[in-house]
Amino acid sequence: MRRSQAYAADVPVRMVVGNLYLGDEIDKTTAKLLWRFIQDKDNGIAVKTVKDRRLHTKLYLGYNEKETSILFGSSNISYAGLIENIELNTIETVPYDSKRATLFREWFENLWQIADKIDE
């Protein structure tokens, strides 16, 4: 089942995560945190998953009408990804209407459209 295009259009944070249904690829702490995000409909966070393929990319976008901040690399947002592992990430801030910012936002929007609703 897929959520409509309008799903989460008005929330400030949207996340697409890897397949939560595989069970062994997500640690319990992360699963509990994601489940809280999913259950709390008023927290301003919407979460979708990709079920049919492995989602390994890590992309974090923040933007306003003037600029887009792009953070991408190998780190998960987890204790291991931020503290324990050897990871490499890059962050840059570019004008909102730049080609680079547009490409990253479009990539995420396309992923959001094909991602699956997380069955509760």
Give per-residue pLDDT as tens, 43-84: 788 888 888 887 778 888 888 999 999 999 888 777 788 788
Q: Please give the pLDDT value at position 25.
A: 59
Q: Are 19 and 50 in contact (CB under 8 A)?
A: yes
pLDDT of residue 33 exceeding 80, the answer is no
Residue where the block lists tokens 């959001």? 112
- Range with lowest mean pLDDT among 25-39, 59-73, 97-111: 25-39
Domains, the chain = 13-117 (3.30.870.10)
